[in-house]
């Protein structure tokens, strides 16, 4: 059997007719940037998440740095961010010339809420949390810490579309929720895309102006803005996918449950949910002390896997200037050495999942 870690083609084929119909509809409309599809998607995504407002943007990274900027954070300010994330989270901070302060993750891959307060200084302006792999962070504790220390809360929901914590959707706990619609994400477009959601009307209005060269009225520019718009084709295709997002989440959950019930190799640690939260199951991530041997073994058996992510941001060449070294965040570094993402996509069959389970259970260190 040959099983890729992910297949955008198979995911596309799940709803192919609807996507093709929508793409042709938008192409034939003669209107491609900031139109009715975007407006409708923004309304539908806000309603789905339970937020008041949504602003479509050009990418998840844009959502992050524009969110940080809209909260007035810049040079001299510190933003607390978990040490085990995709580097875009950190770039959302540093693009604004603010300083990321890393905090170790807990055993659910979210920020360790018990290690945040020792990282807070008089320069701390916000906490930027990541619901990594689709598992929500401990939002009860985070909201409490932010309230007590008067900090802004930003959520990187690039991997957590539709994930719930304590009956609420990720992205609606903080001041701003940031989403990516990169094709591999659970709510993925067919190109780049992103958005923010918020309940704050001022942030909503300012972001809408900012994304369009700082202009509300054509050729009248209020501020120096950016070009970061979610185009009509992407918005239209996202509307199609959004109409199936509950199904997509249920499908991924059934795959994850099957893995969790089936894998019983003592060399493997399985992902754990929090008491009050589920997961969007963007990835199903296992830990293994000899991860590289396991990955090679799975590859020989035709099973694709990916490491999300092999180098934590503080050790990345891009962030050498921050002055961190190996050993500064041992938990995040340990995860980077031991984690492996198993095949997970909409359309992966039960037979294939069972094959992966059997092969993993036969693995010996």
Ligand X SMILES: *Cc1c(COP(=O)(O)O)cnc(C)c1O
Residue ranges in contact with ligand X by CB under 6 A: 59-61, 85-86, 88-89, 130, 156, 158-159, 180, 182, 192, 194
Query: Nearest Cα to 125, choosing from 88, 100, 108?
Result: 100
Dihedral through CA 100, CA 104, CA 107, CA 112, nearest 10?
-80
Minimum gap (Å) between residue 346 Cβ and ligand X? 17
User: Which residue number, 192 or 357, has a Cβ lying nearer to ligand X?
Assistant: 192
User: Which residue number, 88 or 306, has a Cβ lying nearer to ligand X?
Assistant: 88
User: Which residue number, 65 or 204, has a Cβ lying nearer to ligand X?
Assistant: 65
> Rounded to the nearest 5°, which phi and psi values hold at 195?
-165, 165
Minimum gap (Å) between residue 56 Cβ and ligand X? 12
CB 312 within 8 Å of CB 266: no
Is the bond into 309 cis (omega within 30 degrees of 0)? yes
Nearest residue to ligand X on Cβ basis: 60
Minimum gap (Å) between residue 86 Cβ and ligand X? 4
User: Which residue number, 161 or 268, has a Cβ lying nearer to ligand X?
Assistant: 161
Residues facing residue 165 across a β-bridge: 168, 277
Minimum gap (Å) between residue 181 Cβ and ligand X? 7
Q: What is the CA angle 126-209-41, rounded to 5?
A: 90
What is each CA distance from 346 to 7, 9, 26, 168, 172, in whole angstroms? 8, 10, 25, 24, 25
Minimum gap (Å) between residue 34 Cβ and ligand X? 19
User: Which residue number, 154 or 359, has a Cβ lying nearer to ligand X?
Assistant: 154
């Amino acid at each position: 059997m040959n099983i890729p870690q992910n297949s955008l083609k198979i995911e596309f084929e799940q709803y192919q007719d609807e996507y093709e119909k929508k793409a042709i509809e938008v192409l034939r409309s003669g209107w491609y940037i900031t139109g009715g599809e975007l407006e409708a998607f923004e309304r539908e995504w806000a309603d789905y998440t339970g937020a008041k407002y949504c602003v479509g943007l050009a990418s998840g990274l844009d959502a992050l740095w524009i969110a940080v900027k809209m909260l007035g954070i810049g040079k001299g300010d510190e933003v607390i961010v978990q040490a085990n994330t995709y580097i875009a989270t950190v770039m959302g901070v540093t693009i604004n010339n603010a300083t990321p302060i890393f905090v170790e993750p807990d055993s659910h891959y979210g920020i360790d809420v018990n290690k945040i307060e020792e990282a807070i200084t008089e320069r701390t302006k916000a906490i930027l949390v990541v619901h990594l792999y689709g598992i929500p962070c401990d939002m009860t504790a985070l909201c409490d810490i932010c309230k007590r220390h008067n900090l802004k809360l930003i959520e990187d929901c690039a991997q957590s579309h539709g994930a719930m914590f304590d009956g609420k959707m990720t992205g609606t706990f903080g001041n701003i929720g940031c989403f990516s619609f990169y094709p591999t994400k659970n709510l993925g477009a067919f190109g780049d895309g992103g958005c923010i959601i918020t309940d704050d009307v001022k942030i909503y209005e300012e972001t809408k102006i900012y994304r369009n060269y700082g202009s509300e009225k054509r050729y009248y520019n209020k501020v120096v803005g950016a070009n970061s718009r979610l185009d009509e084709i992407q918005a239209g295709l996202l509307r199609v996918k959004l109409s199936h997002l509950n199904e997509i989440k249920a499908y991924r959950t059934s795959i994850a449950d099957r893995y969790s019930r089936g894998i019983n190799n003592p060399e493997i640690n399985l992902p754990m949910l929090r008491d009050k939260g589920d997961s969007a199951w963007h990835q199903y991530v296992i830990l293994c002390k000899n991860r590289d041997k396991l990955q090679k073994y799975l590859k020989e058996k035709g099973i694709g896997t990916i490491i999300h992510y092999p180098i934590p941001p503080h050790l990345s060449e891009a962030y050498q200037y921050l002055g961190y070294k190996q050993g500064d965040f041992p938990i995040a570094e340990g995860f980077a050495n031991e984690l492996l993402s198993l095949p997970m996509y909409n359309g992966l069959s039960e037979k294939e999942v069972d094959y992966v389970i059997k092969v993993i259970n036969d693995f010996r260190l």
